[in-house]
């Protein structure tokens, strides 16, 4: 019997040999990778996987990264990290066949319609309604902070279908067509000068019941699949030592003239140690997880990684000195030169969102305290009251 790790590595090496990333268009390369079973190695054969342990994904990723292959998480983060595992766990076979491959090739971008103006950290308190009709459902409401909504073909939508039960029990989860005429996307300008976040208005947007994920009223359980995978995807860290945000800091330091500031050098050493500890923790977590679904421990990597990113880019801008006060990004629009987004000042400003997106640092500390350490939970006075009776601002 072939060793699974060897199977994954040999398959990955054959992929990059037959489809060299330097000369293969990204969508074609990703399509070949999906067909080879290296998209998510723990998925079933035919659906982008090989049916092996999830911890072996890093073996494939390392081979492809060394060859310069495209990263689908960078191109389609909500699709790759959140929609795909949710679809596999709760979607029908027809949805698997229709959605997974173009999701992975990034020909169809995804977004996540969860947060609302009055329901961010308290996601279960959301007010967007989905009402049954003879042909399916109609959704009405407002979502906010939706990354990639201006590019997305599909959305993961959590909506309230029963206001007369407690808030966690009256939610249902759908796949929404972002091209529906009832969907309006409005960009939100952010600190960087860019507009990657959006608010989304739904006005009787149509929902096909065949594209519902999970049972009616079971949306909270489905949403937990999405959120656990989101935090694992964001907090997994780089599999290659000295890459990611800490790689930016190391490259900057190498370019500094002598003599280098010893205080900054000590900061860099400390940041590198933290980054490598995060990387090794991610490797250990992936290996120990086996075939189990993503769980609350993934919140640790997301929490630590978000705070580390902020510290790394603060170090970078301090190292730049006066040059770190210049930021070209305030004229950026979605079609602008992407080089402006590669500046260290842009990355510093963008990193401020890291401790908010995908669950705030405060929420993640609560998840780790209650679900990993077993500490008593916060008082939740509205937990058992019908949603309709809960006061809202």
**Distance between CA atoms of 20 and 18, rounded to whole angstroms?**
6
CB atoms within 10 A of CB 384: 11
Given the residues 108, 116, 199, 230, the one annotated as active site: 230
Identify the bridge partners of residue 174 per DSSP, sorted by sequence position: 157, 212
**Distance between CA atoms of 222 and 173, rounded to whole angstroms?**
7
Where does residue 88 rank: exposed (0-12), middle (13-18), buried (19+ CB within 10 A)? Answer: buried
In contact, 329 and 345? CB cutoff 8 Å: yes
**Distance between CA atoms of 364 and 299, rounded to whole angstroms?**
6
Q: Is the omega angle on the peptide bond into residue 259 within 30 degrees of 0, that is, cis?
A: yes
In contact, 329 and 337? CB cutoff 8 Å: no
> Which residue's structure tokens are 């009256």?
170
Taken in order 24, 30, 34, 36, the sign of the CA dihedral is positive
Element (H, E) at 140: strand 136-144
Identify the bridge partners of residue 172 per DSSP, sorted by sequence position: 159
**SS3 assignment, position 38:** coil
Catalytic status, residue 97: no
Identify the bridge partners of residue 45 per DSSP, sorted by sequence position: 49
Pairing of strands 136-144, 197-207: antiparallel
In contact, 375 and 369? CB cutoff 8 Å: yes
Active site members: 230
């Amino acid at each position: 019997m072939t060793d699974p790790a060897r199977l994954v590595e040999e398959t990955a090496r054959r992929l990059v040999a037959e489809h060299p990333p330097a000369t293969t268009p990204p969508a074609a390369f990703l399509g070949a990778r999906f067909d080879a079973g290296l998209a998510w190695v723990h998925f079933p054969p035919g659906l982008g996987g090989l049916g092996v342990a999830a911890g072996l994904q890093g073996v494939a990723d390392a081979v492809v990264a060394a060859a310069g292959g495209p990263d689908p998480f960078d191109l389609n983060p909500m699709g790759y990290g959140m929609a795909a595992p949710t679809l596999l766990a709760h979607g029908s076979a027809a949805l698997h066949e229709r959605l997974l491959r173009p999701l992975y090739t990034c020909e169809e971008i995804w977004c996540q319609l969860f947060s609302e103006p009055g329901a961010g950290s308290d996601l279960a308190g959301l007010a967007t309604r989905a009402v049954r009709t003879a042909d399916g459902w109609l959704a009405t409401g407002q979502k906010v902070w939706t990354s990639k909504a201006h590019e997305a073909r599909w959305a993961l939508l959590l909506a309230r279908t029963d206001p007369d039960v407690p808030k966690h029990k009256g939610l249902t989860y759908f796949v929404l067509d972002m091209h529906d005429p009832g969907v309006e996307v409005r960009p939100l300008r952010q600190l960087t000068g860019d507009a990657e976040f959006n608010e989304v208005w739904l006005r009787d947007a149509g929902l096909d019941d065949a594209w519902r994920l999970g049972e009616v009223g079971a949306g909270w359980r489905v949403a937990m699949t999405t959120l656990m995978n989101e935090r694992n995807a964001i907090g997994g860290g780089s599999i290659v030592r000295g890459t990611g945000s800490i790689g930016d800091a190391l490259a900057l330091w190498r370019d500094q003239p002598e003599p280098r500031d010893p205080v900054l050098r000590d900061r860099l050493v400390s940041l590198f140690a933290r980054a490598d500890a995060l990387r090794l923790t991610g490797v250990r977590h992936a290996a120990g997880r086996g075939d189990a679904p993503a769980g609350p421990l993934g919140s640790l990597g997301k929490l630590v990684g978000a705070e580390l990113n902020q510290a790394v880019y603060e170090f970078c801008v301090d190292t730049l000195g006066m040059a770190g006060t210049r930021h070209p990004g305030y004229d950026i629009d979605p079609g602008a030169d992407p080089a402006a987004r590669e500046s260290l000042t842009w990355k510093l400003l963008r990193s401020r969102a890291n401790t908010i997106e995908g669950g705030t640092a405060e929420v993640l500390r609560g998840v780790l305290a209650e679900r990993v350490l077993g500490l008593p939970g916060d008082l939740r006075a509205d937990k058992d009251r019908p949603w309709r009776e809960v006061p809202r601002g």
